[in-house]
Amino acid sequence: MILIVDDDRAVLHSLELLLKQAGFGSVGASDPKSALAHLDRPDLELVLQDMNFSRQTTGEEGLALLSEIKARRPGLPVILITAWGSIELAVRGMKAGAADFVTKPWQNEQIVRSVRTALNLVASGARDTPPCPTREELDERYDFGGVLGRDPAFVRVLDLAGRVAGTDAPVLIAGDSGTGKEVVAGAIHRNSPRRDLPFVKVNLGAIASTLFESEMFGHVRGAFTDATRDRAGRFAAADGGTIFLDEIGELDLRNQVSLLRVLQDHTFEPVGSSVTRRLDVRVVSATNRDLRRAAAEGSFREDLLYRINLIALHLPSLAQRRQDIPLLARHFLSRAATLFGKREFPSAISPDAMEWLEAQDWPGNVRELEQFLSRAVLVSAAPTLDRAVCERVRAMDAAGAGRDPLPPVGSMTMDEVEKAMIEKALRHHGGNVSRAAESLGLSRAALYRRLEKHRIAT
């Protein structure tokens, strides 16, 4: 049963009909006092509440009602209805515990979507804090293949990701660079009802501010000088599926407004078009910034933060999940050794090397560990990676390689990694093949074979 609270009888009747058509039972209340009288109903599942009563426009009466509801029924989800010009009021309501907010004038689909999402979150237990499951228990419930990690700090995050995957709730994944935010976003999509539909990844930090609307919403032919044909944007490409907005904290304030409109109304207009298009998409965002601090400082809109942050996942750093270092290290080494060929490159890690790896801080997190082991595979010529090689690679980084870093290993083939390492060693040693070979742990003959293979001139 859904409680609708609004002092406008026409709005009450309209919402009752809408919810009935969507399969929900409802009861109406025209003022806070009569609304509170329904809170003891055992079948009450959600409150849909307007923020202004008795001609008041400040919303204080609505906030007071919300506060009383949360005090008496803390787990009962409350969705607020407010005017677009009163977004600050909606944000205050979200801070006070509201589950979501809808602005007037609303689309009927928007109300139904918000209600279903809030109820699904309650059913999923996403707001609860159950005991941490084991990784084996998680793998029985969800498809987390390819997501490596058994440390309890990481398993807790995966558990929540699995529980919210079946809903349409917007998720914000926070964590330092290299912690695996994109991997977790993909797992959420893979465990959702949208799994067979598009998963579109967008790095917002890589999109120029002036191109944001064209890139995200598309454009029609003639919209600007270079628009020689119609082009669908990223949101259109993701329609029906999931869109992953990486580095959302890098978006400037002007484009934050454009994004907020899409997330609020689930509609957009391509640049140069007057045709409004409807959108059905699940939004997962990620950031390595403290968006609450950014909102307090005025560089990130608070209303957008609450729109994308219905569920927050905080990925631990690799230093906070050290139990996973051996698992990750063996995986990265095995992958690199397999791609390079096991006869020449290490396929195991010695106990002293593993102890050394576990003791490092890894400020670049999982990505840094992956890159380090890819370099170590290139440096080592023995069947087992030992501590001496690890220390040599670290010394190479300190001596100059760190000032000339490799591109992300995940974006390169192993041949490209090998070529890049050799070129860096040659640059560092001024083209001296003997010194470059020594620093890489190779014989001169072995290095010359690789120079010929990659057509590297000396």
pLDDT digits (tens, 9 = 90+) for 207-223: 999 889 889 998 777 66
Helices 444-454 and 414-428, packing angle to 10 deg: 120
Q: DSSP string spanning 115-133?
A: HHHHHHHHHHTTTS-PPPP
Q: Which two tokens stand for residue 333?
A: 């080494």
Q: What is the mean pLDDT of residues 329-353?
A: 79
DSSP three-state, residue 106: coil
pLDDT at position 401: 46
Ranges for all domains in the chain classified under CATH 1.10.8.60:
319-454
Task: Check: CB of residue 326 under 8 Å from CB of residue 369.
Answer: no
Residue range 442-451: mean pLDDT, rounded: 79
Domain 135-316: which CATH number of 3.40.50.1820, 3.30.830.10, 3.30.70.100, 3.40.50.300? 3.40.50.300
What stretches of 23-154 adopt beta strand conformation (E)? 26-29, 46-50, 78-83, 100-104
- Residue-averaged pLDDT of the chain: 86
| pLDDT for the residue 404 | 46
CA angle 159, 310, 308 (to 5 degrees): 115
Residue 7 — very low, low, confident or very high, per pLDDT cuts 50/70/90?
A: confident
Q: What is the mean pLDDT of residues 228-248?
A: 91
Distance CA 220, CA 235 (A): 15
Checking 108-111 for CB contacts under 8 A at 24+ apart, the result is 108/18, 109/266, 109/278, 110/264, 110/265, 110/266, 111/15, 111/18, 111/19, 111/48
Residues paired with residue 83 on neighbouring β-strands, in sequence order = 104
Closest CA to 285 of 173, 162, 418: 173
Span 286-326, pLDDT tens digits = 999 999 999 999 999 999 999 998 899 999 999 999 999 99
pLDDT at 425 (0 to 100): 74
The mean pLDDT of 74-99, rounded to a whole number, is 83
pTM value? 0.80
Sign of CA dihedral 287, 293, 294, 300: positive
pLDDT at position 400 is 56
Beta strands 100-104; 78-83: pairing state = parallel
Q: What mean pLDDT is predicted for residues 3-21? A: 92
State whether residue 1 is helix, strand or coil.
Answer: coil
Q: Tell me if the domain spanning 319-454 has CATH number 3.20.20.70.
A: no
Residues of the chain with CATH 3.40.50.2300: 2-124
Distance CA 397, CA 384 (A): 21
Which SS3 state, helix, strand or coil, does residue 435 take? helix
Give the C-alpha separation, 232 to 210, whole Å. Answer: 17
N-terminal to C-terminal alpha carbon distance within the chain: 77
Half-sphere exposure in the Cβ direction for 297 (13 Å, CA): 8
DSSP letter assigned to residue 192: S
pLDDT of residue 340: 59
Q: For the segment 66-79, what is each residue's pLDDT rounded down to a tens digit?
A: 999 999 998 899 99
The partner residues of 339 in beta bridges, in order of sequence, read none
Contacts of 63 (CB under 8 A, 6+ apart): 51, 89, 92, 93, 96
Q: Which of 353, 372, 354 is closest to 362 using CA atoms?
A: 372
Q: Compute the distance between CA of residue 142 and CA of residue 182 in angstroms, rounded to an integer.
A: 17
Give per-residue pLDDT as tens, 102-152.
Answer: 887 788 888 998 999 999 888 887 776 678 889 999 999 999 988 999 999
pLDDT band of 94, cuts 50, 70, 90? confident
Question: For 2-124, CATH number?
Answer: 3.40.50.2300
CATH 3.40.50.300: which residues of the chain? 135-316
Instruction: Give the amino acid at 224.
Output: F
- Position 5 scores a pLDDT of 93
Are 417 and 431 in contact by the 8 Å Cβ rule? The answer is: no
Average pLDDT over residues 238-244: 96
Query: In degrees rounded to 5, what are phi and psi of residue 143?
Result: -95, 95
pLDDT of residue 188: 96
Confidence of residue 455 (pLDDT cuts 50, 70, 90): confident
Burial pattern 194-223, b for ≥16 Cβ within 10 A else e, equals beebbbbbbebeebeeeebbbbbbbbbeeb
How far apart CA 95 and CA 59 sit, in angstroms, is 14
Report pLDDT for 323: 94
For the four alpha carbons of 17, 20, 24 and 27, in that order, the dihedral sign comes to: positive
**Cβ neighbours, 10 Å, residue 33:** 9
Sign of CA dihedral 343, 349, 352, 356: positive
In degrees and rounded to multiples of 5, residue 28 shows phi and psi of -105, 155
Residue range 370-417, pLDDT digits in tens: 989 888 887 777 888 999 989 988 887 776 544 444 455 455 565 676
- HSE on the CB side for 348, CA within 13 Å? 6
Structure tokens at 76: 């009962």
